[in-house]
Amino acid sequence: MAWIKTLLRPLTRQRWWPRPGNRLPIEALLDSANPQAPLVERHLWLIQLIDWVRRGEPVSGTQFVVRHLRTHPERRARVVGVLAAFWRDTDVAALLADYGFSPRSSFLNELGERLRRKTLPGTPDTGDLAKLFNLLFDDPLDGAWLAALDAPTLEELAALWREALAEPTLPASPAGWREPFLDAIAYLVSQVRAAGMSPAFRSRLGTRVDDGFVPGEGGHDGGPTHIVASSQSDEQLGREAFRQLGRAAERLHELAINEANLPPEERQAASTALLQEAQYLRALLDRCAAAARGLHGHLEAQGISVDLVFQIDQLCARCRRVEELLEVILAPQPAPVLRSLLCELLEQGQRRRSVRALFSRHYAMLARKVAERSAETGEHYITRNRAEYRDMLRRAGGGGAVIAGTTYMKFAVMALGLSPFWAGFGAGVNYAVSFVIVQLLHWTVATKQPAMTAPAMAARLADTRTDEAIEGFVDQVAHLIRSQVAGIVGNLAVVGPLVLLAQVLAWWVMDAPLISAEKAEYVLHSLTLLGPTLLFAAFTGVLLFSSSIIAGWVENWFVLHRLDSALRWNPRIRLWLGADRAAYWARWWRENISGLAANVSLGLMLGLVPVIAGFLALPLDVRHVTLSMGQIMAAAGTLGPGVIHFPGFWWCMAAVPLTGLLNVAVSFILALRVAVRSREVRVTDRARLRKAVWRRLRTQPLSFLLPPREPRSSPAGSSVEPGN
């Protein structure tokens, strides 16, 4: 078994290669430092040294190394030489400007980059410090022990770097050690400015962002000035800030070089000018970040773009990075500030390794928008009084009548003897057409309600910290369950008798049923409670939930691309339809796109998913409560009155309410989970909500089944409380 542990040991670590630094004593490791070694070997030595520090307690290990170097000048000279060569041959500015950020502005590209980093190993044979950094610090706990280093140890490390930067082998730098930090600021500012002037940002910031700089507004002649003007709107200030960023960064670089080359006695005035320019650059960055964050309001109203949300986050993060770099170059004692920057880089690197974090962050707004789109539709499915309850029963009855025809159309499609795919496609089209007819006639199918009503309920969770808000949510739960009961009862009360009546008419007119005895027996065999019906019913609930998500995505896409405006104002469409009809169809599609997407996607999934699952050898099928009831009644009509003596018939009838329960419960729970997560409801508030629902269920169980009584008319001056 030892050889198995040896093979699995690398998989249990944070890195893919062994830790060679743990095999050498520190004396031998420090003696192996060679400033003249090839670049890759010097990088491997640094990785080994950091691994040795991690071997025990990292803080104590670091203290031991710096004490040892203090008492051994030859080894210290070797280490200083390696550090000097490291500074010379690696692109430090790449680490400061690029690490933690995506090289592209696309969400999917960043997803692919993270997956690649998780699966493919890196190489230390690189001069890009941003890439090497992942190999130097790949342990999630590195930031913790770096932050725990005491001030004397930190000063010892800073002294090592000062000696390394004073090595004669290093080329002269105009700004000294600040040069890579200033270069990184220039790179970051150029990326922020490019993002702010991109078409996606310009179109949402209002008018066009012009290139160039307005003389006299950046302190270039008379010093930096504030970018605040009462006559300018926030959008105008944002455009001005993006426009002035480049020149402000250049001016900062020039002042830093000027300060570095002045004698110590003349640096006071130069330091003051540098500080003023840095403050001005900070003000510009704050305005740019505020303008970018302000785009979220535009997205809320005009639809969510995942790529644009990703670009906004990247822009704001780059603005924060520039501010952190400014703190380093302005600090009188840069070592503590540099340590904080290093810890921040490590934290960002860990976040960028996580695929889950990427989805959680950038789909939060999209989940909320999908939930809100569904909530707008879901309000129509919630009944709050007896009039609405009766109306729900009528609309559910109409939906049941349509599903009765759907049942026989399915048997007709199956009788064509098509291949499995085309049979499933035909069944899916049959379902989709039926659901669309139900929508256009303003009727309802009960199982479609939960995925729409859950977001409407979650909209009530904006404030869950008061008892009134909690009780209001419980009221919504009671209204919802009553609505579901009414929808299912209305569907089943109509679909069963209509299907059975069609069979009776067929016997009377044609002296034969509409489906054969073999199909009837197959129905009773497949829909029985003794089989996997409940599993399939739960899976159908997942499909119901998926259709609501698809509906939200499609509507968000419709709004984001302003297709309603295009339908109304496009010259060719207006010429073809006329102005009035174009306006009508634009409004009609805007109001119905979500329902059409939900109905079509649900119908096709009910028909095609079992076929695809069968092709993949997955034992999955669908069980829809209304369709199941229709098929059972069709089978009963074929087998005749004697079917009531068949145990299989009653097992199928027993499965119907449980199928409806699972259809409703699974789709509702999944939809409510997405809606609650999009609202960022706290865990403690979720527990309070559950307790409140159970308390209402114990004290007023009928409120979940029957609508509240309407208040009676009473004489003036008196009041009558409505009951449940």
pLDDT tens-digit readout, 101-130: 877 666 677 778 778 877 888 889 988 888
Q: What is the mean pLDDT of residues 359-371?
A: 57
Please give the DSSP secondary-structure letter assigned to residue 71: H
Report yes or no: 523 and 627 within 8 Å, Cβ to Cβ. no
Is there a domain that residue 200 lies in? yes
pLDDT at 452: 54
Residue type, 522: Y
Q: What is the mean pLDDT of residues 463-468?
A: 71
Residues 153 and 279 in one domain: no
The pLDDT confidence band at residue 206, using thresholds 50, 70 and 90, is low
Residues 657 and 691 in one domain: yes
Is there a domain that residue 115 lies in? yes
Residues 331 and 428 in one domain: no
Task: Give the residue carrying structure tokens 């006329």.
Answer: 578
Q: Which domain holds residue 73?
A: 19-89+137-171
Taking the CA atoms of residue 441, residue 445, residue 450 and residue 454 in that order, the dihedral angle to the nearest 10 degrees is 10
The pLDDT confidence band at residue 425, using thresholds 50, 70 and 90, is very high
Report yes or no: 550 and 598 within 8 Å, Cβ to Cβ. yes
Q: What is the mean pLDDT of residues 708-719?
A: 52
Contacts of 86 (CB under 8 A, 6+ apart): 42, 43, 46, 164
Contacts of 476 (CB under 8 A, 6+ apart): 382, 456, 457, 460
Per residue in 533-592, pLDDT tens? 999 999 999 998 888 878 878 887 888 788 999 999 999 999 999 999 999 999 999 988
pLDDT at 264: 78
Question: Which tokens is 455 given?
Answer: 């977001």
Residue type, 102: S
Which of the listed residues 312, 342, 362 is the one where a domain comes to its end? 362
Contacts of 468 (CB under 8 A, 6+ apart): none
Residues 301 and 414 in one domain: no
Residues 341 and 401 in one domain: no
Q: What is the mean pLDDT of residues 39-51?
A: 92
d(CA 29, CA 46): 10
Residues 239 and 179 in one domain: yes
Return the sign of the alpha-carbon dihedral for residues 223, 226, 229, 232.
positive
Question: 699-707: long-range contacts at Cβ-Cβ below 8 A with a sequence spacing of 24 or more?
Answer: 700/478, 700/724, 703/478, 703/482, 704/477, 704/478, 704/481, 704/482, 705/481, 705/482, 705/485, 706/482, 707/383, 707/384, 707/385, 707/386, 707/388, 707/389, 707/482
208: pLDDT strictly greater than 50: no
Is there a domain that residue 499 lies in? yes
Q: What is the mean pLDDT of residues 470-485?
A: 81
Is there a domain that residue 159 lies in? yes
What DSSP letter does each residue of 610-626 carry, written as one string? HHHHHHTT-------HH
Task: Give the residue carrying structure tokens 């002037």.
Answer: 197
Residues 39 and 116 in one domain: no
The pLDDT confidence band at residue 138, using thresholds 50, 70 and 90, is confident
Q: What is the mean pLDDT of residues 21-36?
A: 80
Helix intervals (H) in 331-363: 334-353, 355-362
Closest CA to 551 of 452, 480, 626, 670: 452
Q: Give the CATH number for residue 491.
A: 1.20.1080
The pLDDT confidence band at residue 199, using thresholds 50, 70 and 90, is confident
Is there a domain that residue 570 lies in? no
Per residue in 1-20, pLDDT tens? 444 444 444 433 444 344 44
Question: Which range (183-192, 216-225, 620-629, 661-670) has the least confidence?
Answer: 216-225
d(CA 302, CA 311): 17
Residues 268 and 337 in one domain: yes
Is there a domain that residue 720 lies in? no
663: pLDDT strictly greater than 70: yes
Helix, strand, or coil (residue 128): strand
Question: Which tokens is 571 given?
Answer: 């010259």
Q: What is the mean pLDDT of residues 269-281?
A: 91
Residues 322 and 344 in one domain: yes
Report yes or no: 190 and 184 within 8 Å, Cβ to Cβ. no
Helix, strand, or coil (residue 104): coil
Helix, strand, or coil (residue 462): helix
Q: What is the average pLDDT score of the chain?
A: 82
The pLDDT confidence band at residue 464, using thresholds 50, 70 and 90, is low
Is there a domain that residue 718 lies in? no
Please give the residue that has the higher pLDDT: either 594 or 435. Answer: 435
Question: Which range (41-50, 233-242, 699-708) has the least confidence?
Answer: 233-242
Closest CA to 317 of 339, 347, 360, 353: 347
Check: pTM over 0.75? Answer yes or no. Answer: no
pLDDT at 670: 82
Question: Which range (445-454, 490-499, 519-528, 614-623) has the least confidence?
Answer: 445-454
Percent of the chain whose pLDDT exceeds 90: 46
Element (H, E) at 86: helix 73-89
723: pLDDT strictly greater than 50: no
257: pLDDT strictly greater than 50: yes
Is there a domain that residue 483 lies in? yes
143: pLDDT strictly greater than 70: yes
Residues 302 and 400 in one domain: no
Residues 108 and 34 in one domain: no
pLDDT at 307: 75
Task: Give the residue carrying structure tokens 């008196």.
Answer: 718
Per residue in 624-650, pLDDT tens? 999 999 999 999 999 999 999 999 999
Extract the runs of DSSP E, i.e. beta strands, from 99-147.
Answer: none
The pLDDT confidence band at residue 328, using thresholds 50, 70 and 90, is very high
Question: Which range (3-17, 136-150, 260-274, 663-677) has the least confidence?
Answer: 3-17
pLDDT at 229: 40
pLDDT at 96: 93
pLDDT at 485: 84
d(CA 388, CA 279): 61
> Considering its fold, how many domains does the chain have in total?
3
pLDDT at 601: 93
Question: Which range (30-39, 43-52, 448-457, 631-640) has the least confidence?
Answer: 448-457
d(CA 575, CA 538): 49
Helix, strand, or coil (residue 402): helix
Residues 165 and 184 in one domain: no
- Enumerate the β-bridge partners of residue 503: none
